[in-house]
Amino acid sequence: TRSGNTGICRYAQTWTGDNYTSWDSLRYNIATMLGCGLSGISLTGSDIGGFAGPAPDAELFVRWVWCGVLLPRFSIHSANNDNTVTEPWMYPEKMDAIGKAFRLRNKLLPYLYSLGAHAHNCGEPILRPMVYEFPHDANVRNEDVDFMLGDGILAACVVEKGAQTRSVYLPEGEVFYEFGTRQRHPGGQVITVPAPLDRTPLFQRGGSVVPLQNDNRIELWICPDKACSFTLYEDDGISNDYLHGLYSATKYNLVRNKDLVILKSQRTGDFLPAEKILYQIQCVNKAPANILWNGSQLPQILDEEHFRSANAGWHYYHSTKICCVKCGDGRDLTKMVVNFGQFDLIRMDEN
């Protein structure tokens, strides 16, 4: 919609208007969308690459796409002055970077869809200014480029021509993990990270659950630094049958009790999703000692190939300090207990 009255925030998409092709537009459109979210309109976006003016050069276009795939509304739309239109394939030499961004978009769909359902029901924005999530930290009160996607992902889009690195302020009292490397960074500091053309720096917040789509399964990325919750919303994605109960809303609640991480889940709705769920648990200092699934102990599988073909068990990846957990299709979970205590070396043969 171009305009509307009270109530459009629940149903309508809107955008930042007929923007101009420039680095300034890329930067300031972010602030505009964050303002829309604070005003109750979550389904926002911008015309990727600019609507009016010259066709975007390759660098600007790629950076804009990498920002755009994080937005609730992702649309490449233009009326360039030279009678061309902006398309993903306009710079064949950049197609690898563009394709990588599109694949990230696909991975984020369960998260974005769930955030959209939450915004519809509760009014809380999908794109959130840093000050919205971290009002205690005076250092983020004037930040208008970095933003939170939901409460779990910090995005630091690149909005400067020629940049190869990106400086990011991490709010005080928090912990963040880089996407990909899973490197851990405590808050209250500015860090500088690589920002090649085929990447936007993204960080998962400690104390969050983020669902990502990978092939025919959903991976729940869990950072158990502190208590948190998240509701994974699913339906058929096509019809209005969700209005008649054909949806699935699975609420995950996570708490920490010394060396124990306890994840509970409860599902409502009559929709039965087809995708399996894997649980990716971020560890810090050590791997788990054992894991209970609905009260039964899961086997630790040391061989990665064996783990891939197993129906149930857990495997620890040393390079990223990720513990991957699976059991059947992963949908019957009511309670998982991850024990980070010490191994009992005397009694370990009994297990």
Could you tell me if residue 39 is left (phi over 0), alpha (psi between -120 and 50 degrees) or otherwise beta? alpha
Give the tokens for residue 63: 């950076």
pLDDT at residue 344, as a whole number: 63
pLDDT at residue 11, as a whole number: 78
Closest among 349, 351, 295, 283 to 327, alpha carbons compared = 295
Crossing angle of helices 95-122 and 58-68, rounded to 10°: 30
**What values do phi and psi take at 68, rounded to 5?**
-65, -35
Give the tokens for residue 158: 């690149």
- CA angle (254 as vertex; 234, 134 as ends), nearest 5: 90
Find residue 177's DSSP bridge partners.
184, 204
Biggest CA–CA distance in the chain, Å, is: 76
pLDDT tens track, the chain, 351 positions: 877 787 787 778 899 989 999 999 999 999 999 999 998 899 999 999 999 999 999 999 999 999 999 999 999 999 999 999 999 999 999 999 999 999 999 999 999 999 999 999 998 999 999 999 999 999 999 999 999 999 999 999 999 999 999 999 999 999 999 999 999 999 999 999 999 999 999 999 999 999 999 988 999 999 999 999 999 999 999 999 999 999 999 999 999 998 999 999 999 999 999 999 999 999 999 999 999 999 999 999 999 999 999 999 999 999 999 999 999 999 999 999 999 998 665 544 443
pLDDT at residue 303, as a whole number: 97
pLDDT at residue 12, as a whole number: 84
The whole-angstrom separation of Cα 316 and Cα 188 is 29
pLDDT at residue 295, as a whole number: 97
CA distances, 280 to each of 23, 170, 218 (Å): 37, 23, 10
pLDDT at residue 347, as a whole number: 45
pLDDT at residue 346, as a whole number: 52
182 within 8 A of 191, measured Cβ to Cβ: no
pLDDT tens per residue, range 273-304 = 999 999 999 999 999 999 999 999 999 999 99
88 within 8 A of 61, measured Cβ to Cβ: no
CB atoms within 10 A of CB 92: 9
In our burial notation (b when 16+ CB lie closer than 10 A, e otherwise), range 284-309 reads: eeebbbbbebeeeebebbeeeeebee
CA distances, 228 to each of 114, 119, 217, 340 (Å): 16, 18, 23, 18
Strand order of the β-sheet with 147-149 is 127-129, 147-149, 153-155, 202-205, 175-178, 184-186
DSSP code of residue 47: B
Q: Which residue has the tokens 């959130």?
A: 128
DSSP element (H, E) containing 26? helix 23-38
CB atoms within 10 A of CB 8: 15
pLDDT tens per residue, range 13-33 = 899 989 999 999 999 999 999
Global pTM value: 0.95
